[in-house]
Structure 1
Amino acid sequence: MSRLAVILLAILFGTPAWSQTRPNTTAMSCAQAAGLVRSQGAIVLNTGPYTYDRFVSGGGFCAVTEGYETAWAPTADNPQCFVGYRCRSVAPGQSNR
């Protein structure tokens, strides 16, 4: 293996950000998950072992060209918990809400 490859691998896998995990909605109550989104404004949460999504507390956390829609996530006490909103692309001429 070349020296450059070893250095790149060390940088990629040796950074603290690589080992950090996102909060998982399935390990918290519905109230905790919704409260986390509310308190952070915008946050990426795991929604299962291999799934994640970005949740927001309102449209102000979406880009100007995006709208927002209600977002549901599985939690420990509710398989379909309202946690906040999800930003979505909006076609020209559509409402942002």
Structure 2
Amino acid sequence: MKRIALYLALCLLPTMPLEAALAQSRPSTTNRPCSVNRQSVAANGAIVLGTGGYTYDRFVANRSFCEFDEGIEPAWVPSRDTPSCFIGYRCKSRDPVWFD
């Protein structure tokens, strides 16, 4: 019985760090100054940030972090020191252009 318990403990031990990695929190723009939020986007290229409450979005430094059929739009978010802080861009689906 003790051997079975020890065996199960040793088998489950390697999976414990994976559980914590799956539930990582994302930084919130409202808790950090505008300059820190802007720097996070620039340093990572693309990052998911909380924008207050239970909302979040993906922000990019430039179009190279979007899909080939997406464009970019300026992203303004609330931050600790300003209600409207430009931190980079959001990827946005482009409307198809049909030529007649």
The normalised TM-score by structure 1 is 0.79
**What letter corresponds to residue 97 of structure 2 in structure 1?**
G
Percent identity between the two aligned chains: 49
Inter-partner Cα distance in structure 2 for 1:31 and 1:93? 37
**What letter corresponds to residue 66 of structure 1 in structure 2?**
E
**What letter corresponds to residue 67 of structure 2 in structure 1?**
A
**Which string of whole-angstrom CA distances, capped at 9 and with x for unpartnered residues, describes residues 14-35 of structure 1?**
8113431001111110000000
**Which string of whole-angstrom CA distances, capped at 9 and with x for unpartnered residues, describes residues 29-72 of structure 1?**
00000000000000000011210000000011000010000001
Larger radius of gyration: 2
Gaps of 5+ in 1: 1-10
**What letter corresponds to residue 53 of structure 2 in structure 1?**
P
Q: Partner residue of 2:56?
A: 52
Inter-partner Cα distance in structure 2 for 1:80 and 1:89? 23
What does 1:1-97 align with in structure 2 at a 5 Å threshold? 15-93=19-97
Number of residue pairs matched by the alignment: 82
Q: Which runs of 4+ in 1 moved over 3 A?
A: none
Query: SS state of the match for residue 15, structure 1?
Result: helix
Gaps of 5+ in 2: 1-14
| Deviation, structure 1 residue 78 | 0.7
Inter-partner Cα distance in structure 2 for 1:20 and 1:78? 26
Q: Cα RMSD (Å) of the superposition?
A: 1.7
